[in-house]
Amino acid sequence: MALASCLPPLSLLFLFLTLGISGVHSSPTLSPSAAMQSLAQKRKPAMDAKLPFTAHFFPQQLDHFTFRPKAYHVFYQKYLINSTYWDQGPVHTAPIFVYTGNEGNIEWFAANTGFMLDIAPKFKALLVFIEHRFYGDSLPFGNDSYESAEELGYLTSTQALADYAVLIRSLKHNLSAEASPVVVFGGSYGGMLAAWFRLKYPHITIGALASSAPILQFDHIVPWSSFYDGVSQDFKDESINCFEVIKHSWDELMAVGAKKGGMLELTKTFRACKKLQSVYSVRDWLWTAFVYTAMIDYPTPANFLTPLPAYPVKEMCRIIDGFPAGEDILIKVFSAASLYYNYSSTNSCFDIENGSDPHGLHGWDWQACTEMVMPMTSSNESMFPPSTYDYKEFGDQCMTKYEVRPRPHWITTEYGGNKIELVLKRFGSNIIFSNGMRDPWSRGGVLKNISSSIIALVTPLGAHHLDFRAATKDDPKWLKEQRETEVKIIQGWIKQYYEDLRKSSKT
């Protein structure tokens, strides 16, 4: 099997993998931030009235880096604001906390980043969540935004970062908040953007908290098998039998799909709403469930990608281990995957081949085909079928779909990554990289302190940007301590900023 593409998130992703079998069939395109069931566009309804934010739209320039006439085309970029705890003004000096939106509707990220709301009163902070261009309601060409590479060519991380910079400067000016320090937050792909924003725009933000940000998942910086090794280790840690059942289920799935009447048999086994046409649809359905359950293996019940119980990997393995040894292996894996797709018991059947894109992630395929090239393989030790990666094969697929070829080394050229511990030590500062080792994306993250102000917070039992979730009474002690450490570090940044501001005003 050859890996034909890469790169959640966040969802981010958080970000990023497309597998190809013999150059013909591809597996789900997963992002670091979320599971995308298909590329079908499904627009999100109006903002949930329960979210404590007001929605606004900023007239944003299409192209920040050229001066051609088309560059001045204006689109309206969505952002959310909560000013409940901000100082009264009229001239503001209290902090502004900005979430650098990633690949989806901004409401989705606001609803799942309760940490910022939790700490806003302590800092008297203004909260701003900015939607990423080409996602949600921030579509530069309206319904034609995904028409072709002519439009999608403006969907890049550098353009997104420039959007954030322009919008933040405008907000500070219009809100009489020029003296307010800005701290950026991001999870998954949004965490990558937050870290890169601090490096590219240090004059706009005093620091960044980048949670579950796999900024090293490019080129040959980390082993290409690291992501799937991480998913597999999560299941193996819970149960060797569970790991082995999943590992051997793929061959059985293909064997059933290949025999006469096999697709009808799979339709019944997997309770599909319509007769299945391809065995690869079932493979992708299972694959997605196992990968994303590992990512969001939270210690408390959550509803980020889908409703799940606490420690869902453990629960999946409990389901598999609960069957007698002679039970059909596909019944076992179907039952485990059903935890991901139907924990709330609302589905009588599964729309396996016609899934929707409820979080507006349909732009990620383009990003994976251009600059977010994260090579991934599956080793013999993985619970997934062994696979290799082929840049050319991946590039050919992107040419077929978009008529563009990926630039596999652009991210490390633009933002760095190789020998990051030496490079950032020389010029970087004020970045927190937080990672939970249950999250397979953590293996592409920064896991060691780089300097006294570029800090790695690593929790052995943490999952995908778990620290960004709202606090609950059932949070484990180590999670509470992690968040307390993050708050303390940010307080230090802000204190130093005000001291420097006072000193500069005296000169």
**Choice among 365, 439, 467, 475 that is catalytic:** 439
H, E, C per residue of 187-246: ECHHHHHHHHHHHHCCCCCCEEEEECCCCCCCCCCCCCCHHHHHHHHHHHHHCHHHHHHH
* Structural contact between residues 389 and 66, judged by C-beta atoms closer than 8 angstroms: no
Pairing between β-strand 20-21 and β-strand 25-26 as defined by DSSP bridges: antiparallel
Which candidate, 168, 159, 196, places its Cα nearest to that of 61? 159
Give which of 46, 10, 6 is closest to 28, Cα–Cα. Answer: 6
Tokens found for residue 70 = 């088309």
- Nearest-CA neighbor of 26 among 10, 11, 45, 6? 6
Residue at 453: amino acid letter: S
- Report d(CA 242, CA 383) in Å as an integer: 10
Q: Would you call 237 a catalytic residue per the annotation?
A: no
Residue 103 sits at the vertex; the CA angle it makes with 225 and 335, to the nearest 5 degrees, is 60
Residue 439 annotated among the catalytic residues of the structure = yes
Q: In this structure, are residues 33 and 188 in contact, taking their beta carbons and an 8 Å threshold?
A: yes
Does 180 qualify as catalytic in the annotation? no
**Which residue out of 92, 359, 362, 464 is catalytically annotated?**
464
Q: Is the peptide bond before 375 cis (omega within 30 degrees of 0)?
A: no
Element of type H or E holding 185: strand 182-187
Structure tokens at 134: 């080409």
Full 3-state SS string of 327-344: CCHHHHHHHHHHHHHHCC
**Residues 196 and 412 sit within 8 Å (Cβ to Cβ):** no
Catalytic residue among 26, 188, 387, 434: 188
Q: Phi/psi at 54 (nearest 5 deg)?
A: -110, 140
Which strands sit side by side in the sheet containing 20-21, from one edge to the other?
A: 25-26, 20-21, 2-3, 388-389
Catalytic positions, written as ranges? 188, 439, 464
